[in-house]
Amino acid sequence: MSADKDNGLEAAAAFEPAEREAVYRAIETRRDVRDQFLPDTLPDDLVARLLGAAHSAPSVGFMQPWNFILIRDPAVREAAWAAFSRANAEAEAMFPQEKRDHYRSLKLEGIRKAPLSICVTCDPDRAGPVVLGRTHNPRMDVYSTVCAVQNLWLAARAEGVGVGWVSIFHDKDVRELLGIPERIEIVAWLCLGYVDRLYPEPELAIKGWRQRLPLEDLVFRDRWQEPGR
């Protein structure tokens, strides 16, 4: 394709049907993997592709606020699992008594079983104190970082790699474990590894924790509407 002579734009077109279907398939079959990881090491070139996909995410003001800490050391992952376990026990106690057995039945073993963890962080100072597009919403840097997480997740699905997002931990525990400065925000601890089987629907839906909400109940027209009205 030739670039537009006046402004550098290039021609754009919809993907071919097979390419389009592949994108939607990755979106629709992406799963949060908790316990199905295989022990095989992920090759460096594959990890580089996943990080490249993450780094291609959109970011407000093109600030690219993300960093990726790759964690393969079993001792570090074991320490992270211990921190998670302490927080998980606290989380269990927050649910009503009748839901605690159900909560315990949801296996959350990714930190131990997956051969690679990635801690994704956000640097709010990456583009200076005033950032185009962040002037009126200071959280836009974090939202941008979450876009990088989603990019990585979809690329991983296309590569046959499972991803699990661990969110049950005290921030200070991970910060101390990985030596993360106070000014840096921890956004995600991701567990990655090959998988050969995935649930056909989200695991929490299959196991009766929650079900997917009907899309039509979540789409409003022109202004906010209270659900059900």
- Residue 126: partners with Cβ closer than 8 Å, 6 or more residues away: 63, 64, 65, 141
Predicted TM-score (pTM) above 0.85: yes
The order of strands in the sheet holding 66-71 is 66-71, 116-122, 185-194, 161-166
- Domain layout of the chain by residue ranges: 33-197
pLDDT digits (tens, 9 = 90+) for 1-41: 455 566 889 999 999 999 999 999 999 999 999 889 999 99
Chain mean pLDDT for the chain: 93
182: pLDDT strictly greater than 90: yes
**What band does 104 get if pLDDT is binned at 50, 70 and 90?**
confident
Higher-confidence residue: 43 or 88? 43
Q: Which two tokens stand for residue 149?
A: 């997480």
- Rounded Cα–Cα distance for residues 181 and 164 (Å): 24
- Rounded Cα–Cα distance for residues 104 and 114 (Å): 20
The share of the chain scoring above pLDDT 70, in percent, equals 97
pLDDT digits (tens, 9 = 90+) for 108-150: 778 999 999 999 999 999 999 999 999 999 999 999 999 999 9
Helix (H) or strand (E) holding 99: helix 97-105
Residue 143 CB neighbour total at 10 angstroms: 16
- Residue 84: partners with Cβ closer than 8 Å, 6 or more residues away: 108, 111, 166, 168, 169
pLDDT digits (tens, 9 = 90+) for 47-71: 999 999 999 999 999 999 999 999 9
- Residue 153: partners with Cβ closer than 8 Å, 6 or more residues away: 30, 163, 190
CATH code for residues 33-197:
3.40.109.10
DSSP 48-80: HHHHHHHHTS--GGG---EEEEEE--HHHHHHH
**What band does 101 get if pLDDT is binned at 50, 70 and 90?**
confident
